[in-house]
């Protein structure tokens, strides 16, 4: 509150003194729902001057020993760092998805063509070229395995 609003929180300060006017209706709606027994947790990005801050808001009814609601527990936590980390992770996942797509389709397609051509060449037993066909077959097989390994590893990374 001090950093964002220049306000000091003190015992007995009304919580509404710390809620910005644009957010008051939303706050009161959630507060009322908590008074009716509903627990609410939400995340929201709010403007504070020239910066955007992600907040996690928790509204929970507070009960006495008899099960009667006697108040509300309200907590607002700055989760901006967490949200930025999540965004970076999502961007990384999208990049890995793209790599897997390129590897599995755009690169694998010509490799499949080469494999097919080597199979055709092996059917025509040209003894002079058989050694070259065999070398080509080994090289393309190795390339195919490398592509499959990359795609598999990217898929595992995306799933975790």
Given this model, what pLDDT does residue 96 score?
79
Cα dihedral sign, 22-27-30-33: negative
Q: What is the pLDDT of residue 155?
A: 66
Q: Is the pLDDT of residue 128 over 90?
A: no
The CA distance from 50 to 27, in Å, is 22
What pLDDT score was predicted for residue 125? Answer: 64
Mind listing the pLDDT tens digit for each residue in 62-71? 999 999 999 9
Cα–Cα separations (whole angstroms), residue 15 to 3, 59, 93, 158: 17, 13, 40, 43
Q: How does pLDDT run across 84-103, given as a tens digit for each residue?
A: 999 999 988 888 778 777 77
Q: Please determine, looking at this structure, whether the domain spanning 2-78 carries the CATH number 3.30.450.20.
A: yes
Spatial contact of 27 and 68, defined as CB atoms under 8 Å apart? no
pLDDT at 71: 94
Domains in the chain: boundaries: 2-78, 85-159
pTM, 2 dp: 0.61
């Amino acid at each position: 509150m001090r950093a964002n609003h220049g306000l000091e929180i003190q015992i007995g300060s009304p919580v509404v003194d710390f809620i910005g006017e644009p957010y008051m209706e939303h706050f009161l709606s959630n507060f009322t729902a908590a008074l009716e027994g509903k627990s609410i947790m939400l995340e929201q990005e709010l403007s504070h001057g020239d910066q955007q801050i992600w907040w996690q808001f928790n509204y929970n009814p507070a009960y006495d020993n008899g099960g009667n609601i006697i108040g509300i527990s309200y907590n607002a936590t700055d989760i901006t760092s967490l949200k930025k980390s999540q965004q970076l992770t999502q961007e990384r996942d999208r990049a890995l998805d793209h790599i897997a797509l390129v590897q599995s389709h755009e690169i694998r397609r010509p490799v499949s063509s080469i494999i097919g051509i080597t199979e055709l060449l092996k059917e025509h037993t040209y003894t002079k070229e058989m050694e070259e066909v065999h070398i080509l077959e080994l090289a393309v097989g190795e390339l195919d395995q490398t592509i499959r390994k990359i795609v598999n590893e990217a898929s595992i990374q995306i799933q975790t």
